[in-house]
Amino acid sequence: MAIPDAILNKPGPLEPEEWTFIHQHTVIGERILAAAPALANVGALVRSSHERWDGSGYPDRLSGALIPLGARIIAVCDAFDAMTSERPYKAAVSAERAVETLTENAGHQFDPKVVAAFRLVLERRHAQQRQPQVASTTESLRASA
């Protein structure tokens, strides 16, 4: 939000001043949302969405349960999307690899409980997607018997 495309799509490493700008985007997002009273609470989540479980994030260096739960959920979802999406500066990884990375960073970058819940949601979604295939195969076998 509010980051120039030249920075977002830069194929190489960012310069220190570009990183400074990147680190301000959550505060800028909060200010934009604060202009709409109905979205002010969402602004607080946007502001905290790059905080890290261990306190090494930005902009306020919050840690653990001090980070709003919604922001912790956004952080995991955003990281998963970033890893599984093609970017000018990096190739996308598989969903499986992205989940491995989230798991490796649980307790450091991410809330371990949120990562566990995210994994469970993906596993259930995967199981539901497989159900029609199993039902279709079963119906085909019955029809041919």
Query: What are the tens digits of pLDDT across the range 48-79?
Result: 999 999 999 999 999 999 999 999 999 999 99
- pLDDT attached to residue 21: 83
Please report the pLDDT score of residue 115 as a whole number: 99
**What pLDDT band is residue 141 in, cutting at 50, 70 and 90?**
low
Pick left, alpha or beta for residue 55 (phi over 0 → left; psi -120 to 50 → alpha; otherwise beta). Answer: left
Q: Are 44 and 64 contacting, i.e. CB atoms less than 8 angstroms apart?
A: no
Can you tell me the mean pLDDT for 105-120? 98
Closest by CA to 45, choosing from 32, 34, 30, is: 30
CA pseudo-torsion sign 22, 119, 106, 65 = positive
* pLDDT for the residue numbered 131: 72
| DSSP 8-state code for residue 125 | H
Please, what are the domains in the chain? Answer: 5-144 (1.10.3210.10)
Asked whether the whole model's pTM tops 0.75, one would answer: yes
> What is the chain's mean pLDDT, rounded?
90
In the chain the first and final C-alpha atoms are separated, in Å, by: 58
pLDDT computed for residue 139 by the predictor:
67
Q: Which residues pair with 110 in a beta bridge?
A: 106
